[in-house]
């Protein structure tokens, strides 16, 4: 009987320890739903500039914002997917959707922030009518921004293209001036501007190269462009308190005012 009693007491003791461990684990899991520092990846301009204005708003809500700079369009999503950062701010919705499709990821957006109209720039001409037959035109080489660039050229009457969101050079149906359209990494476009007759450049890279979209662009997308720049996160994180706080902060009225006053129409709020 003593031996049986000893075994029973031992089992009770072990189960009690397991119970304590489970409760502790459950408590730590619940606590991990929130954090005091939010790590976000962003392009230098205008994304980082905007986020600097978000910092004090988040600080009042009890969060610190750590901004990690990225200068390309691929690494920020990879860093988000791997958990190196909590969110990113550099892309528009069609680009995110295309990235998910190609990489079998499930990233989502939690807030629209602003729209950056794409522009056509040139250091050789001042009007699109000056483009000669066979002129070299550079556009971004990623699917969504390349499509945007082609649609801008079509809107200006330089080419005709098929309908669709992700058109490519293969979808050009008319090219009377035989434009030589070259696909280039988006960050390189301002750097090769002197080597081509014109380039369609994303606003963030134009700003970094001291190009003002409202003054320097020969042609520009309409301000009702559907390509809103967004805060992206992992799907499993979208309802966590710190992500909700971030989404609320980037859509604060102070941020709307900053975008309108600082960028004067070259970038417009999307909320």
DSSP code, position 165: S
Percent of the chain with pLDDT over 90: 79
* Distance from chain centroid for Cα 102: 16
Q: Does domain 119-220 have CATH number 3.40.190.10?
A: yes
Per-residue pLDDT reduced to its tens digit, 199-217: 999 999 999 999 988 899 9
| pLDDT range class, residue 225, cuts 50, 70, 90 | confident
Pairwise CA distance, residues 65 & 57, whole Å: 10
Question: Residue 171: which residues within 8 A CB-CB, separation 6 or more?
Answer: 150, 161, 162, 164
158 φ/ψ angles, rounded to the nearest 5 degrees: -80, -30
* Pair 58, 245: CB distance under 8 Å: yes
Q: Please report, for the chain, the start and end positions of each structural domain, with discontinuous segments joined by +.
A: 37-117+226-269, 119-220
Helices (H), 66-140: 75-82, 93-103
What is the average pLDDT across 170-184? 97
Question: Residue 246: which residues within 8 A CB-CB, separation 6 or more?
Answer: 38, 40, 54, 58, 63, 65, 87, 110, 111, 231
Per-residue pLDDT reduced to its tens digit, 233-266: 999 999 999 999 999 999 999 999 999 999 988 8
More confident residue, 158 or 5: 158
In this structure, which CATH number among 3.40.190.10, 3.10.580.10, 2.70.170.10, 3.30.70.360 belongs to the domain 37-117+226-269?
A: 3.40.190.10
Indicate whether 29 pLDDT > 60: no
| CA distances from residue 7 to 12, 15, 16, 265 in whole angstroms, order as listed | 9, 12, 14, 78
Average pLDDT, the chain: 89
Per-residue pLDDT reduced to its tens digit, 31-57: 558 999 999 999 999 999 999 999 999
Pairwise CA distance, residues 79 & 85, whole Å: 6
| pLDDT range class, residue 224, cuts 50, 70, 90 | confident
| pLDDT range class, residue 226, cuts 50, 70, 90 | confident
| pLDDT range class, residue 172, cuts 50, 70, 90 | very high
Helix, strand, coil: what percent of the chain each, to 5?
45, 20, 30
- Among 100, 106, 149, 114, smallest CA distance to 42 is for 114
Pairwise CA distance, residues 199 & 193, whole Å: 6
Using omega within 30 degrees of 0 as the cis cutoff, is the peptide bond preceding 176 cis?
no
pLDDT score at 3: 53
Indicate whether 5 pLDDT > 60: no
pLDDT score at 41: 98
- Among 84, 93, 85, 98, smallest CA distance to 111 is for 93
137 φ/ψ angles, rounded to the nearest 5 degrees: -120, 125
Indicate whether 7 pLDDT > 60: no
């Amino acid at each position: 009987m003593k031996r049986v009693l000893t075994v029973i007491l031992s089992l009770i003791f072990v189960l009690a320890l397991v119970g304590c461990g489970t409760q502790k684990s459950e408590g730590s899991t619940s606590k991990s739903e929130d954090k005091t520092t939010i790590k976000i990846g962003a392009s230098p301009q205008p994304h980082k500039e905007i986020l600097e204005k978000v910092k004090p708003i988040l600080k009042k809500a009890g969060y610190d914002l750590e901004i990690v700079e990225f200068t390309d369009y691929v690494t920020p999503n990879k860093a988000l997917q791997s958990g190196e950062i909590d969110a990113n701010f550099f892309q528009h919705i069609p680009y995110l959707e295309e990235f998910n499709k190609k990489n079998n990821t499930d990233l989502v957006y939690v807030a629209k922030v602003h729209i950056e109209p794409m522009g056509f720039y040139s250091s050789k001409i001042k009007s699109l009518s000056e483009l000669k037959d066979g002129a070299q035109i550079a556009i971004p080489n990623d699917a969504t921004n390349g499509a945007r660039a082609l649609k801008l050229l079509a809107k200006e009457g330089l080419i005709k293209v098929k309908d669709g969101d992700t058109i490519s050079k293969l979808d050009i149906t008319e090219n009377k001036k035989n434009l030589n359209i070259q696909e280039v990494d988006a960050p390189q476009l301002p750097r090769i501007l002197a080597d081509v007759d014109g380039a369609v450049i994303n606003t963030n890279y134009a700003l970094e190269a001291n190009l003002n979209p409202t003054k320097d662009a020969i042609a520009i997308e309409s301000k009702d462009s559907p390509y809103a720049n967004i805060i992206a996160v992992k799907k499993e994180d979208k309802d966590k308190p710190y992500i909700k706080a971030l989404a609320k902060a980037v859509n604060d009225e102070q941020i709307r005012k900053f975008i309108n006053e600082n960028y004067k129409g070259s970038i417009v709020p999307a909320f």
